Amino acid sequence: MSDVLFGGIEGGASVSTVVITNGKGDILAEILGEGTNPWTLGIKSCLSRVNDLIKEAIKKANLDVNTKLNGLGLCLSGCEDVIFCEQIETDLKKLYPQLAEIISVASDTLAPIALACQSGGAVIISGTGSNGFLLNPDFTTKRCGGNGHLLGDEGSAYWIAHKSIKICLDHIEEYSFAPNNYSIDRVWESIKSYLQIEAVVDLISVFYGEKKSKSKIAGLCKIIADLAIKGDKLSIWIFNEAGKELAKLLQAIYPSAHKMLHNENGGLHVVCVGSVWKSWDLLKNGFIEQLQSNSDKKIVKEFTLILLNKTVALGGIYLIAKKLNYDFPFDYEHNYKTLFHYVHDEKLK
């Protein structure tokens, strides 16, 4: 078993995590790299980066750089369509035939569920972008979000950053004013410092110039979080709104969950993935407010938010091991910890 080698990649829009294990489940190497979204990079550039990342991880594992993996599981953002995933698999085998014997490509939403939920479950991703996904025991699915920053990504780091900038822009131009008459001073000064701009007009180059970067803009989210922690009222309000948006993702997928998942201990298990969840204390009030204030058609009765204890890239390895019917040491109960348990309170409706 120790001679068997698996590779797994969890590829977001900004960051990718790569892991190499043997057949016993021992992690031989783990590395971080740049994003591997094929829609952002283009397919060939994406696959070139995948190849380079795997080679780097193999080298870190002290293996021969020409080592061919027994299985490689890729869970990449943007890979929602089955036919598109099959195209990625075919192209990767054609371009890099020595990379792995068997390759599996799926959405990055599947990796966390595979790692934490033996019979299916849900995930809400909130990193640079956002996405909600449900996998039932009978393999039926429900998706909400994941449509990119122009069509969605509500509650994500980019959304938080963009909302912060837009509120300040509109306030300065007197198009509309900040909510509840909150001061924009601290947020606007932080935006200018982070983006290295001096005035509103400089935002044009940030969003439309040659050097525009979605990841760069999304990085502003951490600064807004720091301001919220320090008591800035506008920043607190923005994260409260982000919490509501993430709760809407849960409301969209919850009704489609199989009865078996609703009856799990703690209700539906929802894996929380992405850097925005590190600010759960800032998101929590808005999240709960959205769940409690909606109509009967949107009631979410019970769920448990969970955080992974292990690298989400292991989810790719779980998926490829299952595809190969390999007796891998799956260890679901030790792969996560509880973030929050919720039971709907009828009195608060």
Output the pLDDT for position 22. Answer: 93
10 has pLDDT over 70: yes
pLDDT digits (tens, 9 = 90+) for 14-35: 789 999 999 999 999 999 999 9
pLDDT digits (tens, 9 = 90+) for 189-222: 999 999 999 999 999 999 998 878 888 999 999 9
349 has pLDDT over 50: no
Torsions phi, psi for 96 (to 5 deg): -135, 70
Q: Where are the beta strands (DSSP E) in the chain?
A: 5-11, 15-22, 27-34, 69-76, 100-107, 121-126, 130-135, 141-145, 268-273, 302-308, 336-343
Output the pLDDT for position 12. Answer: 78
Domains of the chain are: 5-108+310-331 (3.30.420.40), 121-150+242-307+337-348 (3.30.420.40), 157-241 (3.30.420.40)
pLDDT digits (tens, 9 = 90+) for 271-293: 999 899 999 999 999 999 999 88
Q: What is the DSSP letter of 255?
A: G
Output the pLDDT for position 348. Answer: 47
Percent of the chain, pLDDT > 70? 97
Beta bridge mates, 19: 8, 30
pLDDT tier for residue 347 given thresholds of 50, 70 and 90: low
Token pair for 237: 């309000």
Q: What is d(CA 346, CA 192) in angstroms, rounded to the nearest whole number?
A: 45
The mean pLDDT of the chain is: 92
pLDDT digits (tens, 9 = 90+) for 250-268: 999 999 999 999 999 999 9
Q: Which residues contact 204 (CB under 8 A, 6 or more apart)?
A: none
Report the C-alpha dihedral over residues 330, 333, 334, 335, rounded to 10 degrees.
70
Output the pLDDT for position 128. Answer: 87
Beta bridge mates, 107: 76
pLDDT tier for residue 126 given thresholds of 50, 70 and 90: very high
346 has pLDDT over 90: no
Summary count for the chain: helices (H), strands (E): 13, 11
Secondary element (H or E) of residue 170: helix 157-172
- Closest to 54 measured CA to CA, from 110, 7, 122, 106: 7
Output the pLDDT for position 297. Answer: 63
Task: Residue 248: count other Cβ atoms within 10 Å of its Cβ.
Answer: 19
